[in-house]
Structure 1
Amino acid sequence: MIDYSLDSHGIATLSWNMPGRSQNVLNEESCNALCELVERVVGDAAVKGILMTSAKPDFIAGGDLEWLLSAKTAEALFERVVRLDRALRKLETCGKPVAMALPGTTLGGGLEVALCGHYRVAADNPKARFGLPEVTLGLLPGGGGTQRLPRLVGIQKSLPLLLEGKRLTAAAARELGILNEVVPAGSEPDAAHAWLLGAIAAGGAQQPWDARGFKIPGGAVSSPAVQQVFMAANAMLRAKTYGNYPAPRNILSCVYEGLMTDLDTGLMTEARYFVQTVLSPQAKNMIRTLFFSMNQANKLASRPKDVPQQKYSKIGVLGAGMMGAGIAYVAAKAGIEVVLVDTAQASAENGKAYSAGLLDKQQKRGQVSAEKAAALLARIVPTTDFALLAGAELVVEAVFEDRAIKADVTRRAEAVLGGDAIFASNTSTLPISGLAEASARPANFIGLHFFSPVDRMAIVEIIVGQQTSDATLARSMDLVRALGMTPIVVNDSRGFYTSRVFSTYVLEGLALLAEGVAPALIENAGLQAGMPVGPLALTDEVSSELIWKIDRQTRLDLGSAYKGRPGHEVAARMVELGRIGKKAGKGFYDYPEGGKKSLWAGLAELFPRAAVQPDLPQVVERLTVVQAVETARCMDEGVLRSARDADVGAILAWGFPPFRGGPLSMIDNAGAATFVAQCKRLAAAHGERFVPPAQLKAMAASGATYYTEG
């Protein structure tokens, strides 16, 4: 668990080495071992100094969230936190020098353990990251991070790490003052040992905050400059989170209240806020979806078994527009050769130039070397010649949303591909089974729906057609993981899952506008709900024209079975006016050159404001419930295969509020019976789009939930 040795200089080495795990974590067993060893080294007169390190490539990855959530009561959780605090406090105040030799990544609870050392030396490891990312999972540091870090580097410098969960390289952590030294990899134990010998000779070591007359770097909480920092942080936090996330708010409280006192009192303040935050529904939602469910998706939990893993050396991308160019970039970045095909050589070259532009920006920021950039670009071969696709294990088409064009490129690619090669469509709305009719081998045909911009959207929606084989699904999932992206798997249907449910948000916003609800109220409600952008601004981003075209195609395809939504009429009206969105410089907003966008004044005449306006919570309810009930329909119809993929996909693909955990977590939190009653009330007032599906009504009757744990 933690290996122990004592050398002839009286230096005790505590080396974290948890069996059966790739990384060290803080859990019941390791915390017990740590507490016992702290008692041992502090009480043993033969121990003159303590060196803590790791036998694994990284130091400590953080706390074990399963262990954290397993505490049955707030009191039990509080006792766990306080016990660790006492052990770390005893270690840093024992008078014996403590040095931390950090071979690699040191995050969360790992960095909190490291901060109790008097000296921290890290390996010059380019992959290593240092930080306190708890806030990204709805938590706050509970091992002294909100107290020691501000006392070490100052309040202003520590807040970005605490409130944003920033992860630093070793060099950046050294510059900030978190690390004392960065040395060549492998030499960090020797450097720590050398420092310990000097500290022992000098008579021991003491933390700066335990020294008489200690002053917080950059100013105390009571100083006018720091008071201004807190005022600005509070304002920015409110503007960014709309009060939906307790973790960052509680972090600010921990720092403010804790740093007005001594460290021991501050640690107790932090422990109380930590327990309160862990037990909040927002933290539980975020941990379940962004940690447990995300990890399951990334580990390919839904991958068909008994299919050999596919290694990719060459793929083809058809269409060198922004989407195709983005796919080519992420594949080349993963070390895969890419044949980028377009109708004109100049277009194909432009597609490759997209990667060159990204790499140029990265080189200027020092994120990639010129050699690595050149090697990546060399892996992208722009061409008009389909024959160069020979030998590709997979081809993905990213051409226009036109069935005839897609059918043509399918046949041309398959003519030169090997018999076991996969053909994937990047369509966002057209049913995969229909597109597969153009294929001579529909079992090898699948949907891979990437999101724009591909290099920043780390999710791929994999769509299984009626004839798609399990082997094709498994091998496609292998590609997504090779690209470093998160896959969700859905069954074929119109709009699949993400496009279908995402559209309900924008269309509900347009429906509210048609009803005479004030545009500013609609937009503010979207932000208050936790969505990244209001529905009208989002419509401008995707363009009313695209919404209109998809609706027109759906109407043609479905005939008498077509069911429109009120928002479609609003989009059509904007198309008639030529106000199709941001790309045209005008939509629901005006986009003056060099100026700030503003809501179009003409909306008041086009959609007269109703005399009675709904309350903000009523609008928030409609914008969120419409997404959740449509997700429930996707489960009812078998489009979605798991609640996990539904919630992960919603957050990653279109920005569903993470604090809600995803649409199905939102339903579970309310309880199916309560949510069904809510849907029936909204359906009576606003239409059948809110009618709950049969499966959800059955769940309401039985008390069932989408998630079975807890």
Structure 2
Amino acid sequence: MKHFKLEIDSDGIALITFDSPGRSMNVLSGEVIAEVQEFTKKIASDDAIKGAVITSGKQGSFCAGADLSELGGGMADLKNLSEDEAKQKLFDMAFALNATLRQLETCGKPVAAAINGIALGGGFEVTLACHYRVMADHPKVKLGLPESLVGVLPGGGGTQRLPRLVGVMNAAPIMLQGKQFDGATALQQGLVQAVVPMDQIVARAKALVKENPLQSKQPWDGDKFKIPGGAVYTPQGMQVFGAANPMLRKETWGNYPAQRYILSCVYEGIQVPIDAGLRIESRYFTKLLMRPESRNMIRSLFLSKQALEKGGRRPAGQEREEVKRIAVIGAGFMGAGITTVSAQAGIEVVLIDVSQEGADKGKKHATDFFEKGAQRGKLTAEKAQKLADLITPTTDYSMLKDVDLVIEAVFEDSELKHKITKMAEEHMPEGAIFGSNTSTIPITSLAKASLRPENFIGVHFFSPVEKMMLVELIVGEKTGDRAISLCIDYVAKIKKTPIVVADTRGFYANRCVMRYIEQGMAMLSEGYMPALIENGAKAAGMPVGPLSLQDEVAIDLGYKVLQQTKRDLGPDYNPGPTEAIITGMYEAGRFGRKNGKGFYVYTDAGKHLWDNLGQFALNGVLPLGEQPSLQLIKDRILYAQAIEAARTMAEGIVEDPREADVGSILGWGFAPYTGGVLSFIDTVGVANFVTRADELAARYGDPFKVPDLLREMAQKGESFYGRFGKDKAAA
């Protein structure tokens, strides 16, 4: 076998080691599933084998789940099939794993899983098909079913075995929220039989196989089996399902069919024998993959994201480089965050600020972050200290003499940034790259202060840096290919996703997200009720409403950016509804969450919309009966952002639809169920999208005027992925 090694010990126990060649993590591919069938037959038929233990040959990875790349390719192959043929092919693909794991758990001999690394998705489902599970006591060893986070459902029996093992109430969060569990929690939940030190997991698993208290049979195959916590039509079961639907609606606004189908799998499946339940699961899995939400989410949140993280946008002729030492200039909130994630990745950081006190404060931000990680068991105290020791806070620019990369993270002021650039270049090595963490100021204008503009690039992080996974790399007029390539390597090393965009005011993400915030304020000025605006945005799939988002990014920052934009554009500046509202809030001292006063009022008990927002409605707040429909608000929210994204493609700011989509989801939370801004347009259909945009433009003006590119694509029947896609999975 290519992916598994089988060794039989003197007690007749087969140790089966999962170790796919050439991969850092084991995944469930078609080849792997075929080999599981092969060793299952051997376990069942070989009298010399009394039982089996399955473990991994890879440090830290038992099995990371299904091979979504293979699944993505398989879905691309369905384009030329009829709907019925496509459904049958998808069902066969889905049921192959279910049938295989069912054979494993009914092979007639005890099987245990010795879990020595992450077992997620299909990997966890493999362990659930084993009679016993022994988990290593190690912070990197996790169990979970994260499929719903990328638009699919557990398709290897997870929706059937997990509720039968721990009950519906305990199983639901694992499946619906993608929660992951360490050993202690897994043992407490009843997901595993034992948690032991790493070097004892195989021995403990073999001991369970020898003891075999379950008599080689899963609990749910017993005649007297009952669902823990109660079946569907019991008082307990009805209570669970009665609460689940409204709770799910509240959390997802009905936008995520994966979660809804998971509930259906559980509800229908646990009322019948498990063999029937597994077929129910495969049918819902098939139904889900026929939906655009799932296909788009798989493409953007897995395939495209992974490709970009592996250097999918590296310029031709450039080789990968190792970034070992960087400098961060500016120890404020952003600079401290950049320092934190860099040190966390093992990179030495020189943290420079105007005063030693400021630099020390920036380092404390990082050390506090590492200490919290140690308190939560994510790393040891010794490791936390080693990460902190990588950071050198200073005011001394001469310490830049041996860095690979400098990231400037000072205030959004062109003159200040020019000054910092000159000071840094006096000491930087000739080949070092200078990156400016600016959110709006064009990189070409900032690079004018540089003696080496080919080494000058925008490196735009999003706040808070520790949580936000996107980094925009902005290419100025003279930025060289090596600067782009090295920054791609740096971003990958800190475990974030890079997108490469051309230079323009606001770049890509901020250009689009400003359309979102502007629509929120435009609707406020038109008399829409603030609560309706905020809830309409959430119903559209946005993580927070536009007014709440402005509070988070800070109203005073918005005011400063507005003033900088007015200075830069001069007579070309065109004021919109945002200016009057932002100015009014700023002058009232309402700066957002940072000072507890913004569009919302923040208290220890929570937050609520400020009662005086009606002052910004030009003609007063509309009466209740004249408030707009929810669909109109959703359209305004989504279309304004998508049209701006299409403009960036038309202008060549973004070249690859994968970057536009991934950037929109990771950068500002554009409705993930759509697969991103351009997938949203493609799914609606470009012609249909243009028709609706024209209707909105007739009523609400310039934000909804589509670029000529969209009209041309509509006339030709094109899609963004059809016209600009670069690989089969994206086509």
TM-score past 0.5 threshold:
yes
Consecutive unaligned residues in structure 2, runs of 5 or more: 79-85, 723-729
Please state if 1:610 is matched with 2:622. Answer: yes
Q: In the alignment, is the contact (CA less than 8 A) between 1:103 and 1:186 conserved in 2?
A: no
Match of 1:354 among 354, 365, 389: 365
Match in the other structure for 1:306: 317
Match of 1:51 among 44, 50, 53: 53
Query: Secondary structure in 1 aligned to 2:229?
Result: coil
The CA deviation at 1:475 is: 1.0
**CA 1:5/1:545 → structure 2, altered by over 3 Å: closer, same or farther?**
closer
Larger mean CA deviation between 70-79 and 610-619 belongs to 70-79
Distance 2:198 2:692 in 1: 58
Q: In the alignment, is the contact (CA less than 8 A) between 2:528 and 2:627 conserved in 1?
A: yes
Match in the other structure for 1:64: 67
Distance 2:400 2:101 in 1: 59
Match of 1:670 among 671, 675, 684: 684
Distance 2:347 2:71 in 1: 40
Please state if 1:39 is matched with 2:18. Answer: no
TM-score by length of 1: 0.95
Consecutive unaligned residues in structure 1, runs of 5 or more: none
Q: Deviations over 1:282-318 (max 9, x none)?
A: 1111101000010011101111243343323321111
- Given residue 572 of structure 1, which amino acid in structure 2 is its aligned partner? T
The CA deviation at 1:55 is: 3.7
Match in the other structure for 1:152: 165
Distance 1:107 1:580 in 2: 42
Match in the other structure for 1:374: 385
Distance 1:34 1:376 in 2: 41
**CA 1:357/1:21 → structure 2, altered by over 3 Å: closer, same or farther?**
closer
Aligned pairs for 1:168-247 within 5 A: 168-199=181-212, 204-247=215-258
TM-score by length of 2: 0.92
- How many residues align? The count is 707
Larger mean CA deviation between 691-700 and 55-64 belongs to 55-64
Query: Secondary structure in 1 aligned to 2:569?
Result: helix
Q: Deviations over 1:86-115 (max 9, x none)?
A: 332233223221222333222211221221
**CA 1:575/1:387 → structure 2, altered by over 3 Å: closer, same or farther?**
same
Match in the other structure for 1:430: 441
Match in the other structure for 2:576: 565
Question: Percent identical across equivalent pairs?
Answer: 47
Q: Deviations over 1:420-440 (max 9, x none)?
A: 111111110000110111111
Match in the other structure for 1:122: 135
Match in the other structure for 1:634: 648
Aligned pairs for 1:289-328 within 5 A: 289-328=300-339
Q: In the alignment, is the contact (CA less than 8 A) between 1:442 and 1:467 conserved in 2?
A: yes
Distance 2:595 2:15 in 1: 65
- Given residue 607 of structure 2, which amino acid in structure 1 is its aligned partner? K
Distance 1:469 1:52 in 2: 50
Match in the other structure for 1:414: 425
**CA 1:314/1:25 → structure 2, altered by over 3 Å: closer, same or farther?**
closer
Larger mean CA deviation between 11-20 and 133-142 belongs to 11-20
Query: Secondary structure in 2 aligned to 1:121?
Result: strand
Distance 2:198 2:597 in 1: 55
**CA 1:601/1:699 → structure 2, altered by over 3 Å: closer, same or farther?**
same
The CA deviation at 1:139 is: 0.9
Query: Secondary structure in 2 aligned to 1:418?
Result: coil
The CA deviation at 1:268 is: 2.2
Match in the other structure for 2:607: 597
- Given residue 586 of structure 1, which amino acid in structure 2 is its aligned partner? K
The CA deviation at 1:191 is: 3.4
Q: In the alignment, is the contact (CA less than 8 A) between 1:507 and 1:568 conserved in 2?
A: no
Please state if 1:586 is matched with 2:597. Answer: yes
Please state if 1:691 is matched with 2:705. Answer: yes
Q: Deviations over 1:379-431 (max 9, x none)?
A: 22222222222212211111111111111111111111111111111110000
Q: In the alignment, is the contact (CA less than 8 A) between 1:51 and 1:100 conserved in 2?
A: yes
Q: In the alignment, is the contact (CA less than 8 A) between 2:323 and 2:486 conserved in 1?
A: no
The CA deviation at 1:77 is: 1.9
**CA 1:189/1:542 → structure 2, altered by over 3 Å: closer, same or farther?**
closer
Q: Deviations over 1:613-664 (max 9, x none)?
A: 2211011101100000000111111111211111111111111111011101
Match in the other structure for 2:291: 280
- Given residue 27 of structure 2, which amino acid in structure 1 is its aligned partner? V
Aligned pairs for 1:410-559 within 5 A: 410-559=421-570
Aligned pairs for 1:1-150 within 5 A: 1=2, 2-4=4-6, 6=8, 9-57=11-59, 58-69=61-72, 70=74, 72=78, 73-150=86-163
Distance 1:245 1:203 in 2: 38
Distance 2:504 2:643 in 1: 17
Q: Deviations over 1:463-519 (max 9, x none)?
A: 111111101111111111121211111111111111111111010110111111221
Match of 1:162 among 175, 178, 191: 175
User: What's the RMSD between the two structures over aligned residues?
Assistant: 2.2
Q: In the alignment, is the contact (CA less than 8 A) between 1:510 and 1:571 conserved in 2?
A: no
- Given residue 704 of structure 1, which amino acid in structure 2 is its aligned partner? E
Q: In the alignment, is the contact (CA less than 8 A) between 2:56 and 2:116 conserved in 1?
A: yes
